[in-house]
Amino acid sequence: MLLETTDLRIGYLDGARNMKLAVDGVSLALDSGQTLGIAGESGCGKSTLARALMAYTRPGSRIVGGQVRIGGQNILDLPEPGRRAIRGRKIAMVPQNPLSSLTFHMTIGAQIDEILRQHEGLSKAAARARSIALLEATAMPDPAAVHGRYPHELSGGQRQRVVIAAALACQPDILVLDEPTTALDKTTELKVLKLVSDLRDRFGTALIYISHDLNVIARVCERICIMRDGKMVEAGPTRATFAAPREAYTRMLLRAVPRTTDPSPVRPPTAHPAPGGPGAHPVLQVENLSYHYAAGGLALPFFPRRKGVLAVRDLSFSIRAGRTLGLVGESGSGKSTVAAVISGLLPPGGGTLRFCGTPLRAAASRRSTDLRRRIQMVFQDPLSSLNPRLSVGRILMRPLRIFFGMNPIDARAEAGRLLERFEMPVAMLDRFPRQLSGGQQQRVALARAFAARPDLIVCDEVTSALDVSVQDHVLDLLLSLQAETGTACLFISHDLGVIKRVSDDVIVLQSGEVRDAGPTDAVFATPRHAYTRLLLEAAGSVIEPIPGHAPVSPASQGTNRGDLHA
Amino acid sequence: MLSAILRRIGLSFLILVLVSLFVFVATEILPGDALDVSLTDDDLAVLTPAQLAEMRAALGLDRPAAVRYVDWLSGALVGDFGTTILTGAPVGDIIWGPLRNSILLAVLTTLVAVPVAMVIGIIAAWWRDRAPDAIVSTGAVVGYSLPEFVSGNALILLFAIWLPIFPATITLYTQGPMLDMLVVAVLPVATIIIGSIAYLSRLLRLGLVESLASDYVERARLAGVSERRIVFVHAVPASLVPTLNAAALYVAGLLSGIVVVETVFAWPGLGLELINAIRKREVAVVQAAVFLGAVGVVIMNLMADLSIIALDPRVRRNTGRS
């Protein structure tokens, strides 16, 4: 057996100085050339486990029991120099965030060369030649030039290739990939996954792939382990496990994954249905919206300022009461700019905005209090949009007092009702944002937005930082609140599955331009633009059991490689 | 990269011109002109208005302020600060000796404080939250809080009075031979570096702790890169980037500390000369000393900026483009 762990336990000291187990009795085995996926939600211990496979723990935690055997030898018995000799040579790691995992003041080449020189004692010239060959193997364009560049000069996808090349430098037997594509766009992710599969075929490396994304694991791995609270709850062949999960937890995870094939938004029936639906009046009408980012540099006489980058061009849409418009695109597509313009955080460069039939003034500071009440915004990171020094109660009472002039007693009672509506106990009114989980924080942020009884709510990637099961819950709440209140919603996301779940209509943005638009069902069923098809393919769920089929490798999906570095 | 460097240098010159304008205006808006300020009340009582006007004309004080400023600035940029009103001696001659002595003090301090602070900072960061870190951190708080007049006098007590190794005060005049100055510089330098080492090592420790906990250091560790390379090739250069600007500001602030040290040891430097000039109301010398002090601060910041350009490729590109 190439890699084997038995009863591995990793402990850390919690705030009260008690030893807690982050990984609790995990045993797994991997033979050469095999692929194993480790899945689980945040905090389940999967990344801690990954590092422990290299006999490494972060400061504050340590391996308290069990064995990690590579080629029959327990590497936990080795002294530090012996461990270092194994890391990078026998087992290598592709870390989570390629953007922060390269030393910013060293060239790409220096960071690959040093690994080769350390482990194989190569000369400077020999190391350089090998590094360039490695970069070439990861399909990096112009590898010799990239060798001399700095990390910030490369795109996220290219940096991920560098990190993969560095991990493969000494042709390790095992490659551990810790959420290697989470920080990347979906289309880039697809290309990186294909690259990993290609390299595995070429070098015969065994893969351990760690991800919270079951779809990604299904694309790459023959076998899967599901982790929860440091324990392995289920393990088996990926296909069989997804077809017939034994554990309720696995079933729950599978159910929570939003799919592009899901039915259109299902809003629960309510006792007092709010006005809304296809025939309702348009809440927001946007015509020919354009936006340029401001040019850089000082405004000096005689030196014309360079024209800013175009963020959005000629965007037109309207949202009716009680309906949701999904805005989908990858990073840099301009979707967050649209949200900022509508909420008055950025002035529109061109075009007209009409809100409930009347023209909308540009800057939020120049809009009336009532108009600001009627347009509410919810952001991706709830922790940074909730004031850390205010209790949940004070956070929810503020809009009630400012917009409706409620007295403190009524406002607190109303805040309690809002919390309960968002399925949180009233006792949470006295807690502070930092004491809540990510899902709870985002529900507080949503409750604050709904406290203003808005006509339009703009949601910018509100579930992107959440685990799938939590995301599922938050989306359910959003849909049912919308059914009750008839609020129109502009929902921005890069995740097509999420968009499909909540949006009646969809607009696909790329580089600030509309690629596809229309009812979500129609656009997803018959995409007109090649970019929409590419996004759908990248987001396509492969975890549905397909009888008699091997796990679909990205290689067989025939992506276009052309615009990889765009 | 070149354009980034040129931009920084150009900006430094702009700042110097603005500082000189500020110094000039500050002395100009005081009641009375340079002559009134320089003369004693007795002189003023004796001299007739006609004599005063004549003296003004001789000194060029009757010309408009703008003309005198341009005149002064064009001289200052080539090291000519004019002459004093009372004695007519060239300011350059008066200021040159103290300037050399102050530079000597600054260079010696930097040469000792920076390497020592780096070693201590690295030790503290490497053994973070362990005994060496605790010792260094406690020592740093004490060293940083100690006022120069206390540590300076304590050092005099120890090494000049109880153990008569070094002179207690400096009897050399401003133009003393360099080698003699080096010997008597030991105690003043020791006084200044106590605070400098404490502050700079804390600063470096902070930056280093952060970069040692970064994703890129973890990636290098998991690739089996040796700890020595991780500390000295990956982490230390990265931690210098945030440290340098703060260090430059600190050294600039040190100028005020140096005045205290120069007073304690009677070190014939620029600070002491400035205080003397203010006491003797030699406006031209005050202007020159303040301007040279500003030059020192600007040079420190420029050096910090240029080192950051050398260390951080991101800065190179950003400033190179815009």
Q: Closest Cα of chain B to A297: distance in Å?
A: 6
**Contact (CB<8Å) B219/A166:** yes
**What is the structure's pLDDT at B241?**
85
Cβ-contact A288, A316 below 8 angstroms = yes
Give kind and range of the element (H or E) at residue A351: strand A350-355
- Smallest CA–CA distance from A106 into chain B, residue: B234
> Which segment, A71-75, A278-282, A302-306, A336-340, is predicted with the most confidence on average?
A71-75
Q: Which of A54, A70, A96, A105 to mutate to test the interface with B (most CBs of B within 10 A)?
A: A105
Q: Closest Cα of chain A to B33: distance in Å?
A: 37
Q: Say which of B219, B226, B313 has its CB closest to residue A101.
A: B219
Distance of CA A187 to the CA centre of its chain: 13
Q: Say which of A56, A86, A153 has its CB closest to residue B221.
A: A56
Q: Say which of A104, A114, A152 has its CB closest to residue B225.
A: A114
Which of B178, B174, B199 has the alpha carbon at shortest distance from B257? Answer: B199
Q: Closest Cα of chain B to A91: distance in Å?
A: 9
Q: Within an 8 Å CB–CB cutoff, is residue B6 touching chain A?
A: no
- Smallest CA–CA distance from B234 into chain A, residue: A103
Report chain B residues whose CB lies below 8 A from the CB of A97: 215
- For the stretch A379-428, pLDDT in tens is 888 888 999 999 999 999 999 999 999 999 999 999 999 999 999 999 99
**What is the structure's pLDDT at A445?**
95
Q: For the residues A430-441, what does the mean pLDDT come to?
A: 89
Task: Please tell me the distance from the alpha carbon of residue A93 to that of residue A114, in angstroms, as a whole number.
Answer: 16
Which of A210, A108, A127, A124 has the alpha carbon at shortest distance from A170? Answer: A127
**Contact (CB<8Å) A51/B313:** no
Q: Within an 8 Å CB–CB cutoff, is residue B322 touching chain A?
A: yes
Is the model more confident about A186 or about A36? A36
Q: Within an 8 Å CB–CB cutoff, is residue B237 touching chain A?
A: yes
Task: Please tell me the distance from the alpha carbon of residue A374 to that of residue A291, in angstroms, as a whole number.
Answer: 23
Q: What tokens were used for A172?
A: 């390790």
The string over A265-291, giving b where at least 16 C-beta atoms fall within 10 Å of a residue's C-beta and e elsewhere, is bebeeeeeebebeeebebbbbbeebbb
> What are the pLDDT tens digits along chain B (322 aa)?
777 788 888 988 898 888 888 888 877 776 666 677 667 777 777 778 888 788 777 777 777 888 888 888 888 877 788 877 777 788 888 888 888 888 888 888 888 988 999 999 999 999 988 899 999 989 988 988 888 888 888 888 888 888 888 877 766 666 677 777 887 888 888 888 898 899 999 999 999 999 999 999 999 999 999 999 999 999 999 998 888 888 887 877 777 677 788 888 888 888 888 888 888 777 888 888 888 888 888 888 888 888 888 888 887 764 433 3
Helix (H, G, I), strand (E, B) or coil at A50: helix
The set of residues, in sequence order, having a beta carbon less than 8 Å from that of B121 and lying 6+ positions away, is: B200, B201, B202, B203, B204, B205, B208
Cα torsion B222, B227, B232, B237: sign: positive
- For the stretch A450-474, pLDDT in tens is 999 999 999 998 988 888 888 989 9
Residue A38 has pLDDT above 60, yes or no: yes
Q: Closest Cα of chain B to A101: distance in Å?
A: 4
Q: Within an 8 Å CB–CB cutoff, is residue B225 touching chain A?
A: yes
Average predicted confidence (pLDDT) for chain A: 85
- For the stretch A537-562, pLDDT in tens is 887 766 654 333 344 444 434 333 33
Is the model more confident about A47 or about B166? A47
**Contact (CB<8Å) A101/B237:** no
**Percent of chain A residues past pLDDT 90, beyond the cut:** 48
Chain B segment 292-311 residues within 8 A of A by beta carbon are: 311
**What is the structure's pLDDT at B28?**
72
**What is the structure's pLDDT at A548?**
38
Which amino acid belongs to residue A177? L
Q: Within an 8 Å CB–CB cutoff, is residue B231 touching chain A?
A: no
Task: Please tell me the distance from the alpha carbon of residue A397 to that of residue A410, in angstroms, as a whole number.
Answer: 9
Task: Please tell me the distance from the alpha carbon of residue B173 to that of residue B286, in angstroms, as a whole number.
Answer: 20
Q: What tokens were used for B4?
A: 């980034």
Q: How many CB pairs under 8 A join A and B?
A: 86
**Contact (CB<8Å) B311/A89:** no
Q: For the residues A206-213, what does the mean pLDDT come to?
A: 91
Report chain A residues whose CB lies below 8 A from the CB of B312: 104-105
Q: Within an 8 Å CB–CB cutoff, is residue B80 touching chain A?
A: no
- Smallest CA–CA distance from B320 into chain A, residue: A297
- For the stretch B138-156, pLDDT in tens is 998 898 888 888 888 888 8
Q: Closest Cα of chain B to A168: distance in Å?
A: 10
Q: Closest Cα of chain A to B214: distance in Å?
A: 8
**Contact (CB<8Å) A103/B238:** yes
**What is the structure's pLDDT at A398?**
94
Q: Say which of A95, A115, A163 has its CB closest to residue B225.
A: A115
Q: Closest Cα of chain B to A461: distance in Å?
A: 25
Report chain A residues whose CB lies below 8 A from the CB of B213: 59
Cβ-contact A528, A554 below 8 angstroms = no
**What is the structure's pLDDT at A294?**
64
Q: Within an 8 Å CB–CB cutoff, is residue B63 touching chain A?
A: no
Report chain A residues whose CB lies below 8 A from the CB of B234: 103, 106
Q: Grade residue A20 by pLDDT with cuts at 50, 70 and 90.
A: confident
**Contact (CB<8Å) A87/B221:** yes
Which of A160, A210, A233 has the alpha carbon at shortest distance from A42? Answer: A210
Q: Residues A195, A559, A197, CA angle at the centre, nearest 5°? A: 25
**Contact (CB<8Å) A118/B229:** yes
Q: Closest Cα of chain B to A154: distance in Å?
A: 12
Q: Within an 8 Å CB–CB cutoff, is residue B222 touching chain A?
A: yes
Residue that has been written with the tokens 């004309």 in this structure: B57
Task: Please tell me the distance from the alpha carbon of residue A409 to that of residue A405, in angstroms, as a whole number.
Answer: 12
**Contact (CB<8Å) B223/A86:** no
**What is the structure's pLDDT at A67?**
93
Cα torsion A80, A86, A88, A91: sign: negative
**What is the structure's pLDDT at B149?**
84
Report chain B residues whose CB lies below 8 A from the CB of A115: 223-225
**What is the structure's pLDDT at A186?**
78
Phi, psi of A44 (to 5 degrees): -85, -5
Task: Please tell me the distance from the alpha carbon of residue A61 to that of residue A49, in angstroms, as a whole number.
Answer: 11
Q: Which of B3, B7, B11, B216 to mutate to test the interface with A (most CBs of A within 10 A)?
A: B216
Interface of chain A against chain B, CB under 8 Å? 51, 54, 56, 58-59, 84-89, 92-93, 95-97, 100-106, 111, 114-115, 118-119, 150, 152-153, 163, 166-167, 169, 296-297
Q: Within an 8 Å CB–CB cutoff, is residue B318 touching chain A?
A: no
Q: Say which of B217, B222, B313 has its CB closest to residue A105.
A: B313
The string over A544-566, giving b where at least 16 C-beta atoms fall within 10 Å of a residue's C-beta and e elsewhere, is eeeeeeebbbbeeeebeeeebee
**Contact (CB<8Å) A153/B317:** yes
Q: Closest Cα of chain B to A242: distance in Å?
A: 32
Q: Say which of A58, A100, A166 has its CB closest to residue B223.
A: A166
